[in-house]
C-alpha cells in the first residue's frame, strides 16, 4: 500500500496548513489523507511543521578547484541540516568555472558520492563561450548565469550586451533561464575610509542595479528569453520589474535572506562578514523589498551562500571577499524575520519551496506536498529558538554575520525521497542525487 506514513497537526500543503497524514511509496508522495486504519504504523510529528524540502537555487560550492573555500560535502551537509533538499550550484567560484563542457564533466565527477542533498548545476556565460552553450545544455545544466560587472574572480569575466545577444536566442528556444547578476558599473564616489560601511554602500549605488535591470528587461522582451534577476537589493527597481511582469515577460526575481534580515544602519564599520554585492541597503529600502515579496513581485528568497577562507574574508571592506555564509540558516533567518511581520507559513512555503523549484524546471517534482511529488520533506519546530554558534554550522567556514544571532525555527528531520537522512545532528551517508535537465 505505502512504505511510510507521516502524520502531523501542521502539514504545509498547497491548500494551507492542516492536520494530515502524508503517505509515501517508492520515494514519492502517494496521497494525503485524514485517517488510516488503527493498526497502521505512522510516524507522528505532532505540532512540528511538516513541509516540503527547501530548494535553494543560488549556492556557490566552489568545488573543484577552490575546495578550501567550500565543497560539495560540507555545503550539502549544512544544507540538509537546514532542511534544504535541493540546491543548484553556481558556475563560479569553482576552478575551472562551469563555462565549458569539459569543466562541467569535471564538476560532475567531483560531486559524485559527496552530495547530502540533491544538487543541480547552472552553466556560465562569459565572453567567447557561446559555442559551448549547446553542449552544456545537452549535458544537463539547468540554465545559465552571467555577470554584468566584475564577478570577484578573474576566471569568470563579465559579459556585455553584445555577448548576451549571442546566447539569449539559444536559451529562448529551450526556454532555459538566464540568471543575471545585475550591477552595471558606473560612477562611484571615492572611498576615503575603507572600514566605513556607509562608504562601501555608497560605492555600489542603487543606480548600478537599476541600470542593469533595465537592460535585462529590455533583452528579456526582445528575445522572449526567461531572465532571472538574482539577489535583488535595490528597491528602486521594483516598479520597473512589476510593470514588466504585468506585461507578461518571462521575468523572475529573487532576493536574499541578508537583504531582508539586516539593515545598513545597524552594520558596524569594519565588519567584513556583512560584505556582499550588491550591498545590504538601508531599512527604508529593505522594507520595500519585503512589500515586493509579499506582493509576488519578488518570486522567492535564496541564500547566495558564497564562502571564502577567513584570510580572504578579513582586512577592510574594500579588500575582503564579498559573499555571505548562510546556507544552513536559510529557513530560520527568513522565518525569524517573517514572524515579526505576521507573515504566514503558507507564504514562507511559496518563497522557499514552491517558487524556487520552478526556476530550475523542477516544479513538477519538488516543492509541494502533493501526490506524485518527490517525498523530500523537512520536519521543524517553528516556535523553538537557537543561537548561531560556529559549532552549530556544518559549512567549511563559520565566519558569518549571523554568529550570535538567536533565531526561531529548529530543523529536526530531513527526508530525501521518503528516507530519513538527517535526524537532530545525525546524518546517513550522502544520499543526494545529481539533478540533470532531462
Ligand atoms: Zn551568487
How high is the pLDDT of residue 39?
84
Inside any domain, residue 434: no
Inside any domain, residue 396: no
All residues with CB under 5 Å from ion ligand 1: 304
Inside any domain, residue 317: yes
Peptide bond into 93 cis (omega under 30): yes
Confidence band for 187, pLDDT divided at 50, 70 and 90: confident
Inside any domain, residue 173: yes
How high is the pLDDT of residue 37?
85
% residues pLDDT > 90 (the chain): 97
- Find out whether 5 and 42 touch, Cβ atoms under 8 Å: yes
- Find out whether 348 and 335 touch, Cβ atoms under 8 Å: yes
Distance CA 270, CA 247 (A): 43
Distance 45 CA to ligand 1 centre (A): 35
Domain count for the chain, please give it.
2
- Find out whether 178 and 228 touch, Cβ atoms under 8 Å: yes
Is residue 122 domain-shared with residue 146, that is, in the same domain?
yes
CB atoms near residue 381 (< 10 Å): 16
- Rounded to an integer, the average pLDDT of 314-340 is 97
- Find out whether 120 and 435 touch, Cβ atoms under 8 Å: yes
Distance 170 CA to ligand 1 centre (A): 23
Distance CA 195, CA 268 (A): 9
Distance CA 408, CA 134 (A): 44
Angle at 170 (CA atoms; ends 167, 174), nearest 5 degrees: 135
Distance CA 186, CA 203 (A): 10
The x, y and z cell numbers of residue 164, run together, are 548576451
Is residue 171 domain-shared with residue 31, that is, in the same domain?
no
- Global pTM reads 0.98
Distance 411 CA to ligand 1 centre (A): 24
- Find out whether 351 and 330 touch, Cβ atoms under 8 Å: no
Inside any domain, residue 438: no
How high is the pLDDT of residue 438?
83
Is residue 326 domain-shared with residue 222, that is, in the same domain?
yes
Distance CA 219, CA 147 (A): 15
Per-chain mean pLDDT for the chain: 97
Is residue 117 domain-shared with residue 245, that is, in the same domain?
yes
Any long-range contacts for 389-392 (C-beta under 8 Å, 24+ apart)? Answer: none
- Rounded to an integer, the average pLDDT of 117-121 is 98
Q: At what angle do helices 283-294 and 238-246 cross, to 10 degrees?
A: 20
Inside any domain, residue 27: yes
Distance 323 CA to ligand 1 centre (A): 8
Is residue 58 domain-shared with residue 180, that is, in the same domain?
yes
Distance CA 21, CA 11 (A): 8
Inside any domain, residue 295: yes
User: Each residue of 140-177: pLDDT tens digit?
Assistant: 999 999 999 999 999 999 999 999 999 999 999 999 99
Which of 121, 129, 120 has its CA nearest to residue 167?
A: 129
**Do strands 300-301 and 377-387 pair parallel, antiparallel, or not at all (unpaired)?**
unpaired
Is residue 12 domain-shared with residue 97, that is, in the same domain?
no
Any long-range contacts for 126-133 (C-beta under 8 Å, 24+ apart)? Answer: 126/97, 126/99, 126/156, 126/157, 126/158, 126/159, 126/163, 127/157, 127/159, 127/160, 127/163, 128/163, 129/99, 129/100, 130/163, 130/166, 130/167, 130/170, 132/99, 132/100, 132/101, 133/167, 133/170, 133/171
Is residue 178 domain-shared with residue 33, that is, in the same domain?
no
Inside any domain, residue 8: yes
Distance 275 CA to ligand 1 centre (A): 13
User: Each residue of 267-287: pLDDT tens digit?
Assistant: 999 999 999 999 999 999 999
- Find out whether 230 and 254 touch, Cβ atoms under 8 Å: yes
Distance CA 356, CA 120 (A): 13
Domain holding 421: CATH number?
2.30.40.10
pLDDT at 135 > cutoff 90: yes
Distance 6 CA to ligand 1 centre (A): 35
**Do strands 4-13 and 16-25 pair parallel, antiparallel, or not at all (unpaired)?**
antiparallel
Is residue 114 domain-shared with residue 17, that is, in the same domain?
no
Is residue 27 domain-shared with residue 116, that is, in the same domain?
no
Distance 142 CA to ligand 1 centre (A): 16
Is residue 17 domain-shared with residue 165, that is, in the same domain?
no
Radius of gyration, alpha carbons of the chain:
21
Determine the structural domain holding residue 25 and report its residue range. 4-49+374-384+406-427
Distance 58 CA to ligand 1 centre (A): 6
pLDDT at 251 > cutoff 90: yes
Distance 143 CA to ligand 1 centre (A): 14
Distance CA 186, CA 174 (A): 33
- Rounded to an integer, the average pLDDT of 186-201 is 94
Is residue 38 domain-shared with residue 158, that is, in the same domain?
no
Is residue 15 domain-shared with residue 160, that is, in the same domain?
no
Peptide bond into 64 cis (omega under 30): yes
User: Each residue of 234-248: pLDDT tens digit?
Assistant: 999 999 999 999 999
% residues pLDDT > 70 (the chain): 100
Distance 153 CA to ligand 1 centre (A): 12
The x, y and z cell numbers of residue 211, run together, are 541600470
pLDDT at 56 > cutoff 90: yes
Distance 1 CA to ligand 1 centre (A): 44
Distance CA 86, CA 373 (A): 13
Distance 250 CA to ligand 1 centre (A): 21
Distance 112 CA to ligand 1 centre (A): 23
Domain holding 191: CATH number?
3.20.20.140
Which of 29, 113, 139 has its CA nearest to residue 373?
A: 29
How high is the pLDDT of residue 358?
98
Distance 356 CA to ligand 1 centre (A): 15
- H helices present in 89-205, as ranges: 101-111, 133-139, 161-174, 197-203
User: Each residue of 61-117: pLDDT tens digit?
Assistant: 999 999 999 999 999 999 999 999 999 999 999 999 999 999 999 999 999 999 999
Amino acid at each position: 500500500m505505502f512504505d511510510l506514513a507521516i502524520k502531523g497537526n501542521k502539514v504545509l500543503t498547497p491548500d494551507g496548513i492542516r492536520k494530515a497524514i502524508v503517505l509515501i511509496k517508492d520515494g514519492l508522495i502517494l496521497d494525503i489523507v485524514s485517517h488510516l486504519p488503527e493498526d497502521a504504523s505512522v510516524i507522528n510529528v505532532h505540532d512540528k511543521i511538516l513541509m516540503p524540502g527547501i530548494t535553494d537555487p543560488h549556492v556557490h560550492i566552489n568545488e573543484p578547484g577552490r575546495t578550501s573555500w567550500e565543497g560539495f560535502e560540507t555545503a550539502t551537509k549544512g544544507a540538509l541540516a537546514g532542511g534544504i533538499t535541493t540546491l543548484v550550484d553556481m558556475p563560479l567560484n569553482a576552478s575551472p568555472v562551469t563555462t565549458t563542457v569539459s569543466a562541467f564533466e569535471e564538476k560532475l565527477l567531483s560531486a559524485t558520492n559527496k552530495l547530502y542533498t540533491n544538487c543541480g548545476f547552472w552553466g556560465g556565460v562569459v565572453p567567447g563561450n557561446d559555442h559551448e552553450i549547446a553542449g552544456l545544455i545537452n549535458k544537463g545544466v539547468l540554465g545559465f548565469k552571467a555577470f554584468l560587472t566584475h564577478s570577484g574572480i578573474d576566471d569568470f569575466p563579465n559579459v556585455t550586451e553584445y555577448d548576451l545577444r549571442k546566447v539569449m536566442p539559444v536559451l529562448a528556444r529551450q526556454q532555459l533561464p538566464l540568471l543575471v547578476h545585475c550591477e552595471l558599473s558606473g560612477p562611484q564616489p571615492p572611498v576615503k575610509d575603507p572600514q566605513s560601511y556607509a562608504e562601501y554602500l555608497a560605492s555600489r549605488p542603487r543606480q548600478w542595479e537599476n541600470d542593469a535591470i533595465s537592460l535585462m528587461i529590455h533583452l528579456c522582451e526582445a528575445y522572449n528569453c526567461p531572465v532571472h534577476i538574482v539577489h535583488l537589493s535595490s528597491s528602486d527597481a521594483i516598479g520597473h520589474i512589476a510593470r514588466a511582469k504585468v506585461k507578461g515577460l518571462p521575468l523572475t526575481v529573487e532576493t536574499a535572506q541578508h537583504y531582508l534580515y539586516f539593515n545598513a544602519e545597524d552594520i558596524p564599520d569594519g565588519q567584513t562578514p556583512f560584505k556582499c554585492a550588491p550591498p545590504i541597503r538601508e531599512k527604508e529600502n529593505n522594507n520595500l523589498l519585503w512589500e515586493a515579496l509579499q506582493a509576488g513581485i519578488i518570486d522567492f528568497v535564496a541564500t547566495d551562500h558564497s564562502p571564502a577562507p577567513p584570510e580572504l574574508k578579513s582586512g577592510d571592506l574594500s579588500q575582503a571577499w564579498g559573499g555571505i555564509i548562510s546556507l544552513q540558516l536559510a529557513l530560520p533567518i527568513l522565518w525569524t524575520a517573517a514572524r515579526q511581520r505576521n507573515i504566514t507559513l503558507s507564504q514562507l512555503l511559496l518563497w522557499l519551496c514552491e517558487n524556487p523549484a520552478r526556476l530550475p524546471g523542477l516544479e513538477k517534482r519538488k516543492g509541494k506536498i502533493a501526490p506524485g511529488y518527490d517525498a523530500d520533506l523537512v520536519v521543524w519546530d517553528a516556535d523553538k529558538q537557537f543561537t548561531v554558534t560556529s559549532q552549530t554550522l556544518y559549512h567549511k567556514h563559520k565566519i558569518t554575520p549571523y554568529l550570535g544571532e538567536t533565531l526561531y525555527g529548529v530543523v529536526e528531520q530531513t527526508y530525501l525521497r521518503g528516507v530519513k537522512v538527517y535526524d537532530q545532528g545525525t546524518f546517513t551517508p550522502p544520499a543526494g542525487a545529481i539533478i540533470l535537465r532531462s
